[in-house]
């Protein structure tokens, strides 16, 4: 169940915040502006906007699901994130590994396949070769990679 604005304000006041931050947060709550992560927590300067503003996330439906078939993932995923669940730091990876793939494309094998396909079904004389023991063993040893 979501918190009311008064309950949320009590929780915020219990945090160790300086009075200016607390006053600004209370003003935001009273003016119905969305609460940002930076209003509650100290965040990095390079934090993307989507992490600083949890209200920008869309797609949380109010569709009622049969309680007999409701999973914990559905219960967790049906709620919008709050400022308390948003990350306060962002450490993005560099694209050093995938940059050459973007320039040249994926590897393609352009070799000529010269191996003879020797399946029992594809042999023209499968019955005759099964009777000729030497040829039968040669064909099946080579088709299995020499095992």
The pLDDT value recorded for residue 41 is 85
Q: What is the pLDDT of residues 106-120, one digit of tens each?
A: 788 888 877 776 666
- 27 CB neighbour count, 10 Å cutoff: 11
Distance CA 14, CA 112 (A): 71
26 exposure class (CB count in 10 Å sphere: 0-12, 13-18, 19+): middle
Q: What is the pLDDT of residues 79-91, one digit of tens each?
A: 888 888 888 888 8
- What does the domain layout of the chain look like in residue ranges? 5-77, 106-147
Q: What is the pLDDT of residues 66-77, one digit of tens each?
A: 888 888 888 777
Pick the more confident residue, 122 or 134: 134
Pick the more confident residue, 104 or 8: 104
- 78 neighbors 60 (Cβ within 8 angstroms): yes
The pLDDT value recorded for residue 25 is 67
The pLDDT value recorded for residue 143 is 58
């Amino acid at each position: 169940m979501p918190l009311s604005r008064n309950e949320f304000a009590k929780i915020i006041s219990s945090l160790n915040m300086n009075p200016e931050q607390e006053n600004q947060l209370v003003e935001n709550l009273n003016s119905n502006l969305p609460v940002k992560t930076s209003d509650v927590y100290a965040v990095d300067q390079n934090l993307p906007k989507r992490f600083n503003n949890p209200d920008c996330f869309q797609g949380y439906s109010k569709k009622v699901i049969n309680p007999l078939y409701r999973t914990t993932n559905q219960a967790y995923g049906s709620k919008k994130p709050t400022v308390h669940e948003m990350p306060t730091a962002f450490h993005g990876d560099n694209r050093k590994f995938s940059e050459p793939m973007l320039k040249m494309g994926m590897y393609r094998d352009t070799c000529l396949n010269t191996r003879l396909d020797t399946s029992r079904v594809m042999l023209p004389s499968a019955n005759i070769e099964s009777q000729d023991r030497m040829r039968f063993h040669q064909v099946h040893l080579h088709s299995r990679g020499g095992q």
